[in-house]
Chain A
Amino acid sequence: MESILGWIAENQQMIYIVILMIFVGIEVIGHVPSVLHTPLMSGANAIHGVVIIGAIIVMGKADPHNYVALVLGFLAVVVGTLNVVGGFVVTDRMLEMFKGKGKKQNTSSK
């Protein structure tokens, strides 16, 4: 218990960010029309690809002789990049369909 309280005190800055970001996240997409649900999901999917930064740090810090860390870290970088690149490209292609089209058609979500 004590160590958890200590950890909260130590990371209070981060915890403030978490709480504020929850409100920002809810506020920002509050008025999205239902045609954009799927592209927004896809865009959010690309944004959480930011986890790749963690993968890069893990990979960069790995001891060159520790093959477990090297292989796992390498896999993390590959799948993280897949998430980021694939996510943004797919979102872009989805939104391409909206160009010059009316709002009503093409919900694209099933």
Chain B
Amino acid sequence: MEVSILTLCYLIGSVTFIIGLKMLSNPATARNGNLLAAAGMTIAIIGTIFLYEEDGKKLGNYPWIFGGILIGGIIGTLSAKKVKMTAMPEMVSMFNGMGGACAALISAVEFDHIYQTYKTVDSAWLSDFIPAGHYLTIIAGAIIGSVSFAGSMIAWGKLSGKIKDRSFPGQHVVNLLVLLLVLAAAVFTYQYNVGSAHLLFYATVGLALIYGILFVLPIGGADMPVVISLLNSFTGVAAACGGFLYNNKVMLTGGILVGAAGTLLTIMMCKAMNRSLKNVLIGSFGGGSSTAAAGAK
């Protein structure tokens, strides 16, 4: 019974996200669309806290959950209310980075769980225990989330004037190399001794963070909104990985919806500025990373 109510909550959440996004693209209904999506989100979150169960077991650690929500809620509301109108885009970037960090942290906990379960089995590969698809969703969430987090933080720093544009000759090559290293580390983690898999996992996350920094650093400050929009769609994909991980439809629909809409929005923003996406990202290996994100799904 309770699980069916939760399913209903998730269904309401998914539908309000779609309708909310639709209303957001029309000036007359935009504000109500935002409120509608917020309402759907609230229903989905409350439903998860009280009704979620796995193998007949309810969630625990309520003090931690409520404490986290309280702290995040208060800081989020205050900082969003206080920020000046002109500083809005950098605030969006900041919150986007938080979402990416959340996705990466979820993956880290899930990986830690796997590692704790199998670490005593020596001289065996991770691939012996974990199906490739399951590992792919975990590592994709970790990589995309980390790139999005690091990139958004740099974008935030640039918009608020704390970080200057920096580029050096051969940056394309360096970026590409770092991206390849990330992918290589991800593969090695899977095909490596379980006992030290966690080190490789953290190396993958670290390299992904570095890639996120290198990816945004050379892009000009005026192009930041486009980059934020792109990172926004990355975070959407990372959230969808979480949906795969927990077989959770609302995370999947919300994430993919934002991933697709965000990508289109990025292209439209470029067009509005009379530039091509390639042009904006020329300082880094933009095309390569977006196809990687699409492929990693």
Residues of A within 8 A of B (CB): 3-4, 6-8, 10-11, 14, 17-18, 21-26, 28-62, 64, 66, 68-70, 72-99, 103, 108-110
Contacts and interface: CB of A to CB of B under 8 A. Distances in A.
State the majority secondary structure of interface residues on B: helix
A86 B76 CA distance: 4
Given A18-B297, A38-B89, A53 B99 contact: no
Pick from B17, B81, B106 the residue with the most CB of A within 10 Å. Answer: B106
Interface residues of B, number: 109
Nearest to B13: A50
Interface of B: 13, 17-18, 20-22, 24-27, 30-31, 33-35, 37-38, 41, 44-45, 48-49, 52, 54, 58-62, 64-65, 67-69, 71-73, 75-77, 79-81, 83, 85, 88-89, 91-92, 94-96, 98-99, 101-103, 105-106, 108-110, 112-113, 116, 131-134, 159, 222, 224-225, 228-229, 232-233, 235-236, 238-240, 242-262, 264-265, 268-269, 272, 297
Pick from A3, A11, A53, A89 the residue with the most CB of B within 10 Å. Answer: A53
Contacts of A92: 31, 34-35
26 contacts: A7-B131, A23-B260, A25-B257, A25-B260, A28-B22, A28-B25, A32-B26, A37-B229, A40-B30, A43-B37, A44-B236, A49-B99, A51-B99, A53-B45, A54-B246, A59-B59, A60-B52, A64-B61, A72-B109, A73-B64, A73-B109, A77-B72, A79-B99, A87-B99, A96-B31, A98-B31
Nearest to B71: A78
Contacts of B20: 43, 47
Contacts of B102: 49, 51-52, 54-55, 76, 79-80, 83
Nearest to A101: B27
Contacts of A22: 256, 259-260
Contacts of A38: 88-89, 92, 225
B239 A74 contact: no
Contacts of A99: 31
A48 B255 contact: yes
A6 to B, nearest CB: 7
Nearest to B240: A18
